[in-house]
Chains A and B, each alone.
Chain A
């Protein structure tokens, strides 16, 4: 009896003693003692904590990382070093803590307890360096996050690979179909070419956005039959006997097809490259497409370009003659396939979810049928299946997502997800972007709701649709990126007469720029409607209409030379080819806009980053007076 009392007394004392010793010998005390030596200043030995109930944060990281805000300790060994970069200026730990950005368990003031590395007990270990930017993305939902290049690239990859056609992805909007309509694909490509494309789209066209579906032979041939039977547009083959390929070549240049289509590796990427289009696509389909692309594919990005019938024939002749490989000839479309395989092909089309990207008449468009990625970045690791994944895969969310994108076929049970052609850094970036899809319910989260396409009513809406202005131009945060200047403030920027003339006969604004506005063949009344609408509606009241009075043209001319404007802008043909020719700028741009650009370039053209000399009011007004006097105003021919 007494013995057991004695023993339990000893055990109790021992436990208390151990607790005291453990506390006195805690890692953080040793770090703090050492920090006094490293930093050369007295350190008050005590636990340090940031307690932020709204974030669910009680971070004691500062108990060991004492030097994070001491610039003298940049590069000092951990845990004493300063926080790299300038992020703490905008994210002070007093407001944000540490673990919201780094992960780990901030309640513990030990290396293992805080989950610096994944351990058996750590639910949310700290992110390794490559995955760190995923945590930026939890709060910063916008597509481009300054200071987070991997996350930004990942969001671009997710958007441009069309992941949102099958998955719901917060922050990624996919309004139209992601791939082309297949209603007329049977008239566009011979059946064998369709089958060859399905075998491996990337072999035919390395830059295609179509992923690889790992079809077996039976699926592929059935699908090829089904697609070869889609001939909604079945135009007769044009008679090219009287066609003039040379005239077609001139038209090809005039219409500025290479703004969107590459030839021999030079040109835009909005449309497919045209190098072998003459031997791949049937002349009949090409002619139908050039007459009116919207009849063939109502959702295409290609504008209507008003070609005459003879011009269409000449262009087709040019494509068939020159846009071919050495011994290439125009393809011949065979008869419509028949038989039971068409029905089987249609089932394959349904099962694989082809309709998520492609329109085929009579097939219901089912989008985002795959699991939603909302909150997917926080999926518990226990719910992810690692069986079958190659060696070197850690049991982490990041590695699972990486493998899922890199090798979707390894998933058990076998998933439908196709293989998207990405290189390893792109897979890594996409992984980071998926990891960022978390909804922690913090007060700092800035969810990004991508803007919807602006609704343009009436005649303007018809014209914007017909000429697909937003395939290249931005308006309301929506549209293409071929043009670098959004249209939102165009009415405050350019003179109405200039717009009207430019729409009728677009000329070169920047000599050094490859992407130029195509000749769309607008009618005078159409150009007038658009020019008037832009002048009235696309206005920014913050931009003055006029520059302040009193500018002296002579002083302006002097400034243009001394500031070095010629470094980028040509004047009378002398000078750089980066910016627009200054001789014609006066007729194009409104005085108030030029004045604003000179005074506050970052406000006027954030996307161009015009240099900022800090010009005063009088100097800026003088430059405007000089430029406006250089060229006579534009006159629109009736």
Chain B
């Protein structure tokens, strides 16, 4: 019994010498990770392509095939991105709600919040490819 105290103390010292538990080693990546990293997913790109590119253009230059047919030219991604935090609301409520032409409809009933947020992210990427 007299020896137990030093043994416990020694064990505690030994335990304390280990790696800090939260220093997790990096996970090795496999072939799938490597192949997918080569073409990173762009959230919002598909939604942009389907709903927005028709007028605003695939690259956000405001030159979609429908653009020339509209009475008011659709804004470019750079103009849209400059609206900052208000862009998500504008996509949801439509352009008429902001006092502009009614040509861009409200998408809130069709796209959910995550999709709108992803599209906003994509608009910012288009406006500034360095992002």
Contact = CB atoms under 8 A, between A and B. Distances in A.
Interface string B75-119: 000000000000000000011100001111111111000100000
A92 interface: no
B35 A428 contact: yes
Interface string B34-47: 11111101000010
B36 A568 contact: no
Nearest to A154: B32
B71 interface: yes
A562 interface: yes
A570 interface: yes
A131 B33 contact: yes
A392 B103 CA distance: 53
A612 B106 contact: yes
A512 interface: yes
A456 interface: no
Contacts of B129: none
B21 A563 contact: no
A601 interface: yes
A21 B4 CA distance: 13
Contacts of A130: 29-30, 32-37
B12 interface: yes
Nearest to B38: A424
A474 B105 CA distance: 28
A128 B33 contact: yes
A215 to B, nearest CB: 27
Interface residues of B, number: 52
Interface in B1-30: 1, 3-4, 7-8, 11-12, 15-16, 20-22, 24-25, 27-30
Contacts of B24: 78, 111, 116
B32 A131 contact: yes
B30 A399 contact: yes
B69 interface: yes
Given A17-B11, A398-B31, A614 B109 contact: yes
B109 A398 contact: no
Given A17-B7, A111-B24, A398-B32, A564 B66 contact: no
B100 to A, nearest CB: 10
What size tier do the contact residues of chain A reach?
35 or more
Contacts of A432: 32
A129 B35 CA distance: 12
Smallest CB-CB A-B distances: 7 pairs? A612-B109, A564-B102, A611-B105, A567-B103, A27-B21, A428-B35, A130-B33
B50 interface: yes
Given A398-B31, A568-B54, 10 more contacts: A22-B15, A25-B15, A118-B28, A128-B33, A131-B32, A150-B36, A428-B32, A601-B109, A609-B51, A612-B106
Secondary structure at chain B's binding surface: helix, strand, loop or mixed? loop
10 contacts: A22-B15, A126-B27, A149-B46, A392-B31, A512-B66, A563-B96, A564-B101, A566-B70, A570-B69, A612-B108
Interface string B116-128: 0000000000000
B98 to A, nearest CB: 12
A30 B20 CA distance: 9
Contacts of B11: 14, 17-18, 21
Contacts of A613: 94, 105-106, 109
A31 B66 contact: no
A502 B93 CA distance: 37
Contacts of B106: 611-613
A393 B24 CA distance: 23
A431 interface: yes
Contacts of A431: 31-32
Contacts of A576: 54-55, 66, 69-70, 103
Contact of B27 (A22, A116, A614): A116
Contact of A425 (B1, B21, B35, B102): B35
A22 B82 CA distance: 56
Contact of B4 (A17, A78, A85, A610): A17
B105 A111 contact: no
Nearest to B1: A13
A17 B8 contact: yes
Contacts of A602: 109-110
A79 interface: yes
A394 B28 contact: yes
A10 interface: yes
Contacts of B31: 392-394, 398-399, 402-403, 406, 428, 431
A219 interface: no
Contacts of B33: 128-131
A117 interface: yes
A398 B105 contact: no
Given A130-B36, A609-B50, A14 B109 contact: no
A85 B117 CA distance: 12
Given A21-B12, A398-B31, A609 B110 contact: yes
A567 B105 contact: yes
Contacts of A566: 70-71, 103
A3 B29 CA distance: 54
Contact of B22 (A10, A31, A562, A567): A31
Contacts of B103: 564, 566-567, 576
Contact of A86 (B36, B66, B114): B114
A471 B66 CA distance: 29
Contacts of B55: 567, 576
Contacts of B1: 13
B117 to A, nearest CB: 11
A411 interface: no
A526 B108 CA distance: 44
A146 B31 CA distance: 24
Contacts of A149: 41, 46
Contacts of A22: 15
Contacts of B41: 149-150
Contacts of B29: 128, 130
A2 to B, nearest CB: 15
A576 B12 CA distance: 75
Contact of A424 (B35, B65, B71): B35
